[in-house]
């Protein structure tokens, strides 16, 4: 494979990706595309950095030209990790306006009066910088929202991407093994986190796009990372949501582990979670809308005999997962979410993380089986090979 060191795809694959983008640009009558999402830059060129938190823009012209405008610290980063042939620098200064530097670069590209798509939906384009961009270019060219042009193309993965997803799944399994090894009454949450991330690093994995989530006691009912660690009690539960990550590709898992004595009602709730997960996976049919996945979850809950404690509603989530791929901080969640009426069609080689977040707040426990799958013509392929069995650590 014709491949440059520190660029993790062949030049032929990059060429095919660019051609797909150009075809979409032509269909939308765009003369150029202003790319701000780091995920799009990585997918299109291999460019790998966290410098996107400052203003930077990758320009793709209808003629195939690629030019990057970024800061000086990312010049060598772009040379080292990408196939971008033309890299421009804007200078840090008290009254710097990188949108002006971008306009001058676009002038060279013959973009005056042309129609350019913009990735407005991007962590790399703050509201302030977006307003600067709009104000600077309003009399120079016509801007059109193209936030999801590349994101939609990234949804279906190439064979090489799927290799990285599967490798990420192997790393997630190794991390889950470490979680089970280190979880016990009295265990420190920090040691569990350290063990799961260490095994990923030792096997050439990466940091996740957001913090791995861990919580015990009251924290087991949260679905976000928060600072502050505790030791597990003699009768406790531990919630973990984490990802194996390889070449930026994520494979997430979600589990709840019981410490101490089992609670029969929690085992019943966990079985309901497994039934929901199976129904969601079976509903992942090529050609059907993504909304079918959530509706399978909802239908399984409705038909269940499980009675939640108290008079509260089920507290069911409004989405039960999302796409996964190569993502950057602050988030590993990729477009789109798995919600009830999502009309996007399911396609072969999409990758979804499905998590069944069932909480029985009144009784004080939850069940959250979740895993990553690849959509195939005949069903789904589980990326994780570990059992979904409920684990109890006495």
Extents of the domains making up the chain = 11-154, 159-393
E strands in the chain: 32-35, 57-61, 66-70, 86-89, 115-118, 142-145, 213-216, 236-246, 249-259, 319-323, 334-339, 351-355, 358-360, 365-367, 370-376, 379-382, 391-393
Q: Please state the pTM of the whole predicted model.
A: 0.95
Q: Cα(125)–Cα(58) distance, rounded to whole angstroms? A: 12
Q: Which residue bears the tokens 């080292």?
A: 80
CA–CA gap between residue 216 and residue 220 (Å, rounded): 4
Token output for 340: 């009830």
The CATH number of the structural domain formed by 11-154 is 3.40.350.10
Residue 352 pLDDT = 98
State the Cα torsion 253-254-260-263 to the nearest 10°.
-130
Residue in the block written with tokens 């059907």: 288
Residues with Cβ within 8 Å of 203's Cβ and at least 6 positions away in sequence, in order, are 170, 171, 174
Fold of 159-393: Creatine Amidinohydrolase (3.90.230)
For residue 274, count other CB atoms closer than 10 A to its CB.
16
Look-up of token digits 């029985």: 360
Q: What is the structure's pLDDT at 361?
A: 85
- Give the pLDDT of residue 310: 58
Low-confidence residues of the chain, pLDDT below 50? 1-2, 311-312
- pLDDT tens for 273-287 read 999 999 999 999 999
Q: Please give the Cα distance from 222 to 39 (Å, whole number).
A: 27
């Amino acid at each position: 494979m014709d491949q440059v060191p520190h660029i993790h795809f062949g030049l032929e694959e990059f060429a095919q990706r660019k051609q797909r983008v150009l075809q979409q640009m032509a269909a939308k009558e765009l003369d150029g595309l202003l790319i701000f999402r780091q995920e799009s830059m990585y997918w299109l060129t291999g460019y790998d950095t966290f410098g996107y938190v400052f203003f930077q823009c990758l320009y793709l012209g209808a003629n195939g030209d690629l030019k990057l405008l970024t800061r000086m610290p990312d010049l060598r980063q772009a040379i080292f990790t990408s196939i971008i042939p033309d890299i421009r620098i804007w200078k840090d200064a008290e009254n710097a306006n990188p949108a002006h530097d971008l306009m001058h670069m676009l002038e060279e590209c013959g973009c005056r009066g042309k129609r350019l798509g913009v990735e407005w939906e991007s962590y790399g384009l703050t509201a302030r910088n977006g307003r600067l961009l709009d104000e600077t270019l309003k009399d120079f060219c016509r801007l059109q929202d193209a936030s999801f042009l590349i994101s939609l193309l990234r949804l279906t993965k190439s064979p090489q991407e799927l290799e990285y997803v599967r490798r990420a799944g192997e790393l997630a399994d190794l991390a889950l093994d470490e979680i089970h090894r280190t979880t016990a009454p009295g265990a420190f949450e920090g040691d569990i986190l350290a063990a799961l991330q260490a095994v990923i690093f030792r096997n050439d994995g990466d940091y996740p796009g957001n913090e791995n989530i861990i919580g015990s006691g009251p924290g087991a009912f949260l679905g976000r990372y928060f600072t502050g660690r505790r030791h597990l009690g003699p009768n406790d539960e531990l919630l973990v949501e984490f990802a194996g990550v390889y070449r930026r590709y994520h494979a997430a898992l979600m589990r709840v582990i019981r410490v101490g004595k089992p609670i029969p009602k929690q085992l019943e709730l966990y079985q309901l979670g497994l039934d929901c997960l199976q129904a969601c996976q079976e509903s992942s049919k090529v050609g059907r809308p993504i909304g079918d996945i959530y509706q399978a979850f909802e239908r399984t809950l409705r038909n269940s005999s499980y009675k939640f404690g108290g008079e509260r509603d089920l507290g069911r989530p409004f989405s039960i997962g999302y796409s996964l791929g190569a993502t950057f901080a602050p988030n590993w969640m990729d477009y789109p979410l798995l919600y009830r009426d999502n009309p996007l069609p399911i396609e072969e080689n999409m990758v979804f993380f499905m998590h069944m977040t069932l909480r029985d707040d009144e009784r004080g426990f939850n069940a959250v089986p979740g895993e990553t799958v690849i959509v195939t013509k005949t069903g789904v392929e589980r990326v994780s090979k570990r059992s979904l069995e409920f684990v109890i650590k006495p």
